[in-house]
């Protein structure tokens, strides 16, 4: 098992790692739309946060030795399912390989975020 950490994505906001690699698979912790340099949520509401989330995911995946096209499963959390269509448009542009996905509306997310995404990817 290997812990993944990069300063190109925000540091964990609790007692966990950005990602863990084991058995040729990387498990990313949920990513919020936090800007790595400041730790603040990206501007622009759900869309701005979603764009930042994908940049953060990309950084962690690359640090682990893989890329977005190797993602096999995502779990997405939205505080307002009404944002689903706009979120889905950005999601489809980023995850072109169409991984399996769950998308869930939740009452709240850490740091007041409106969206969070976690991924599982193969390391090829």
- Tell me, yes or no, if 76 is annotated catalytic: no
Q: Residue 12: pLDDT band by 50, 70, 90 thresholds?
A: confident
> pLDDT of 29-53, one tens digit each?
999 999 999 999 999 999 999 999 9
Of the candidates 102, 93, 6, 16, which has an alpha carbon nearest to the alpha carbon of residue 51?
A: 93
> pLDDT of 70-121, one tens digit each?
999 999 999 999 999 999 999 999 999 999 999 999 999 999 999 999 999 9
Alpha-carbon span 54 to 57, nearest angstrom? 5
> Model pTM?
0.96
Catalytic residue among 90, 103, 109, 120: 103
Three-state DSSP at 109 gives coil
- pLDDT at residue 14 in the model: 86
User: Which domains does the chain show, CATH number per domain?
Assistant: 2-122 (3.30.1330.40)
């Amino acid at each position: 098992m290997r812990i993944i950490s990069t300063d190109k994505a925000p540091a964990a906001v609790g007692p966990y790692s950005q990602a863990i690699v084991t058995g040729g698979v990387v498990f990313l912790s949920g990513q919020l739309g936090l800007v790595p340099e400041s730790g603040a949520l990206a501007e622009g509401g759900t869309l701005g946060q979603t764009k930042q989330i994908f940049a953060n995911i990309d950084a962690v995946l690359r640090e682990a030795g893989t890329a977005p096209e190797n993602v096999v499963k995502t779990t997405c959390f939205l505080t307002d399912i009404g944002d689903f269509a706009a979120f889905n448009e950005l999601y489809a542009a980023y995850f072109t390989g169409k991984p399996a996905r769950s998308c869930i509306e939740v009452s709240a997310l850490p740091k007041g975020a409106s969206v969070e995404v976690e991924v599982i990817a193969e390391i090829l």
